[in-house]
A and B are shown apart, each in its own frame.
Chain A
Amino acid sequence: MELIYDGSMDSRLFKDILGKTIRELSEQDSDFIYLDADLMSCIGTGAWACENPDRGINCGISESNMIGVACGLAATGFKPMVHTFGPFASRRVFDQVFLSAGYAKNDITVIGTDPGVTATFNGGTHMPFEDVALYRTIPTATVIDITDVPMLISVLKQCKDLPGVKYIRVGRKNAAKMFADGTETPIGPAITLREGKDIAIFACGIMVHEAMQAANKLAEQGIDAAVVNFFTIKPLDAEAVKKYARQCGNVVVAENHSRIGGLYSAVCETLARENTAKIDVVAVNDEYGEVGPQDYLQKRFGLTAEHIVETAQALLK
């Protein structure tokens, strides 16, 4: 796994990669089928779906029905992948995903775009800080927060054939370059991006970039921080959690999500019986989202490298 992180941004947009990968998966596997709820234009699949109406199904603005239809297709042997914005892919369809997919064992992949503050100008109504919390409660579900382009491609390919309910949260804009093109990121194991002995920063999604920047700043202060990418929030790599908790004795969890129910909760649940580390969190407090540019929202909700540095310093005092 080749790490190419230098802090620079990838010029490619997630939305273009999503659309391209969905088209490629359809070409590779005749059982693959993609459904959307009137948001095809947001990930560049609209024109392709018009030409391939048997594999690109626009369900209109009816997300609950879309989940059920996807599950019915799964029951007839298809491998459905559905897309809508994060809040509608989680809150709005939770009972349908829980029962029609999970309980009934109809295997589907759900892509929720614009997680957390990446919903920017769509504002509070479209800003899911709770989607991970909801999906984590579905027995045996797979929950993933995407960091970069190669990871998105790798995860989409894996999810197509993975049993169960799979939830992928990913933005539509661009992100920092993390891994070399072609890198495969097997679902499950956490990825150590930087070794360290004083404090471990566990991060996912857009917060991995912030964590890497924070680690650089901490290094300038003589603090040796490890950075571990927990892009698979469920099933959580509990061994990696315990290993770094023991190794560093201090853990900061950073996520673009509510501090209730997400990666921080999962880490705390894992370490509750360990008593090996002090833990703190950089995440959204118990509040709703609001409208604005992403840099403003990251500051407003405390999701920057500076917040990670401050939290780490306070833990080490």
Chain B
Amino acid sequence: MDATLKKGLERFALEIRIGVLEQMKARGFGHVGGSLSITDALAVLYGSQMRVDPKNPCWAERDKLVCSKGHAGPAVYAALALKGYFPYEMLKTLNQPGTSLPSHCDRNKTPGVDMTTGSLGQGTSLACGMALGEKLRGHDARVFLVVGDGEANEGQVWEALMFAAAKKLSNLVLLLDVNGKQLDGCTKDILDTLDLHAKVEAFGFDTVSIDGNDIELVYNALERTRQGGDKPYAIVLNTVKGKGIAAVEQAKSNHSMAVSTDQWNEWLLSLTAQLD
């Protein structure tokens, strides 16, 4: 991987993290853990992989992202704002009355958001339909699908994976954010998903597992999903929930957090210090 590109993507990830915290600071609370675990993957996607045009967010042949773990919306919004889909200042309207930035992704409210998600599992089927649609239209657009490991509790996820493999949707890339936690605690304690790599592979996906917070590994894994074939791709991202803010990483319950403005400021400061 080119060193300059790597440095640029690492900085982009840092800026997304800052954007996530800016949104939550303005409202005082938010789904911080799952937004920070997927941040590095979003930085690589929007920074180097996805064929998109921020000036033309509805361009039919663009690559599309379905963030099926819709509560990671703030991470998507930060990436989109930094890409220029809408003014950065808008991030401070997260969950304010009448906002274009609701907790969960909404394609009808936010420029650049490709699909509405929030009821876990549903984004998987939507992404399959979009990938199938692109294929039927003869477009070479690809669909990137972000699913959480807690979300993998939902039966619909597995219906959709079966469909993707059966219909040979090689333009679909599943990014499974395995941060090990869900709302009530650790996934292994709530409903143990066991070996997700083996499961996804058994469902017919070309599957790799990597450290999902390592920009270079995520970049390399995504690069190899460009080779077509007759299988959909899966990248199991082993991540840390709350990645980037030590106190959030270590918090027992970090799915959604409400802390003081001073606390958000302190965390923001720790991130902005790394920008230089």
List A residues at the B interface (Cβ < 8 Å).
33, 54, 57, 59-60, 62, 64-78, 95-96, 99-100, 103-106
Contact B160 A65 (CB under 8 A): yes
Instruction: Give the docked Cα–Cα distance between A70 and B160 (Å).
Output: 12
Instruction: Please tell me if B174 contacts chain A, counting CB pairs below 8 Å.
Output: no
Contact B122 A68 (CB under 8 A): yes
Nearest chain B CB to A97's CB is how many angstroms away? 11
Nearest chain A CB to B63's CB is how many angstroms away? 13
CB < 8 Å: which of A59, A73, A78, A104 contacts B116?
A104
CB < 8 Å: which of A64, A73, A77, A106 contacts B156?
A64
Contact A62 B126 (CB under 8 A): no
Complex: chain A residue closest to B136, CB-CB: A54
Complex: chain B residue closest to A75, CB-CB: B130
Nearest chain B CB to A80's CB is how many angstroms away? 8
Interface residues of B in 141-175 (CB under 8 A from A): 155-156, 159-160, 162-163, 166-167
Contact A64 B126 (CB under 8 A): no
Which of A64, A71, A74, A76 has most B Cβ within 10 Å?
A76
Question: In the complex, what residues of B have CB within 8 A of residue A95's CB?
Answer: 119, 122
List B residues at the A interface (Cβ < 8 Å).
60, 106-108, 114-116, 118-119, 121-122, 124-134, 136-137, 155-156, 159-160, 162-163, 166-167
Q: Known contacts A65-B160, A99-B118: does B133 contact A72 (CB below 8 Å)?
A: yes
Question: In the complex, what residues of B have CB within 8 A of residue A33's CB?
Answer: 136
Instruction: Given contacts A73-B132, A100-B125, list 20 more A-B pairs with CB under 8 A.
Output: A57-B132, A60-B162, A64-B125, A65-B124, A68-B126, A69-B160, A70-B129, A71-B125, A72-B127, A72-B128, A72-B132, A73-B130, A73-B136, A75-B115, A76-B60, A77-B60, A78-B136, A95-B122, A100-B126, A104-B106
Question: In the complex, what residues of A have CB within 8 A of residue B134's CB?
Answer: 76
Contact A69 B129 (CB under 8 A): yes
CB < 8 Å: which of A54, A59, A60, A72 contacts B126?
A72
Secondary structure call for the A interface: helix
Instruction: Give the docked Cα–Cα distance between A164 and B212 (Å).
Output: 39
Nearest chain B CB to A2's CB is how many angstroms away? 40
Nearest chain B CB to A50's CB is how many angstroms away? 15
Contact A62 B60 (CB under 8 A): no
Question: In the complex, what residues of B have CB within 8 A of residue A69's CB?
Answer: 125-126, 128-129, 132, 160, 163
Complex: chain B residue closest to A66, CB-CB: B125
Contact A62 B129 (CB under 8 A): no
Contact A68 B115 (CB under 8 A): no
CB < 8 Å: which of B122, B131, B133, B166 contacts A60?
B166
Question: In the complex, what residues of A have CB within 8 A of residue B106's CB?
Answer: 104
* A-B residue pairs, 9 tightest by C-beta: A72-B129, A68-B125, A76-B133, A104-B116, A65-B159, A69-B129, A62-B159, A72-B130, A72-B126
Question: In the complex, what residues of B have CB within 8 A of residue A57's CB?
Answer: 132, 167
Contact B133 A75 (CB under 8 A): yes
Q: Known contacts A68-B122, A100-B126: does B132 contact A62 (CB below 8 Å)?
A: no
Instruction: Give the docked Cα–Cα distance between A67 and B127 (Å).
Output: 12
Contact A104 B108 (CB under 8 A): yes
Question: In the complex, what residues of A have CB within 8 A of residue B107's CB?
Answer: 75, 104-105
Instruction: Give the docked Cα–Cα distance between A19 and B136 (Å).
Output: 22
Contact B163 A65 (CB under 8 A): yes
Question: In the complex, what residues of B have CB within 8 A of residue A72's CB?
Answer: 115, 125-133
Question: In the complex, what residues of A have CB within 8 A of residue B131's CB?
Answer: 72
Contact B136 A64 (CB under 8 A): no
Question: In the complex, what residues of B have CB within 8 A of residue A70's CB?
Answer: 129
Instruction: Give the docked Cα–Cα distance between A104 and B116 (Å).
Output: 6
CB < 8 Å: which of A60, A64, A75, A105 contacts B129?
A75
Nearest chain B CB to A54's CB is how many angstroms away? 5
Question: In the complex, what residues of B have CB within 8 A of residue A67's CB?
Answer: 125
Which of A59, A69, A77, A96 has most B Cβ within 10 Å?
A69
Contact A68 B129 (CB under 8 A): yes
Nearest chain A CB to B133's CB is how many angstroms away? 3
Nearest chain A CB to B173's CB is how many angstroms away? 15
Question: In the complex, what residues of A have CB within 8 A of residue B108's CB?
Answer: 104-105
Question: In the complex, what residues of B have CB within 8 A of residue A103's CB?
Answer: 116
CB < 8 Å: which of B118, B122, B127 contacts A96?
B122
Nearest chain A CB to B144's CB is how many angstroms away? 13
Nearest chain B CB to A75's CB is how many angstroms away? 6
Q: Known contacts A68-B160, A77-B60, A103-B116: does B130 contact A96 (CB below 8 Å)?
A: no
Question: In the complex, what residues of A have CB within 8 A of residue B132's CB?
Answer: 57, 69, 72-73
Instruction: Give the docked Cα–Cα distance between A99 and B133 (Å).
Output: 20
Question: In the complex, what residues of A have CB within 8 A of residue B121's CB?
Answer: 64
CB < 8 Å: which of A62, A64, A77, A104 contacts B115?
A104
Question: In the complex, what residues of B have CB within 8 A of residue A74's CB?
Answer: 129
Instruction: Give the docked Cα–Cα distance between A314 and B22 (Å).
Output: 68
Question: In the complex, what residues of B have CB within 8 A of residue A59's CB?
Answer: 163
Nearest chain B CB to A118's CB is how many angstroms away? 28
Which of A65, A71, A74, A103 has most B Cβ within 10 Å?
A65
Instruction: Give the docked Cα–Cα distance between A186 and B118 (Å).
Output: 36
CB < 8 Å: which of B114, B118, B119, B156 contacts A65?
B156
29 A-B pairs with C-beta separation under 8 A: A60-B166, A62-B162, A64-B159, A65-B124, A65-B125, A65-B160, A65-B163, A66-B125, A69-B128, A69-B160, A71-B126, A72-B115, A72-B133, A73-B132, A73-B136, A75-B115, A75-B126, A75-B129, A75-B130, A76-B129, A76-B137, A77-B133, A77-B137, A95-B119, A95-B122, A99-B118, A100-B122, A104-B107, A105-B107
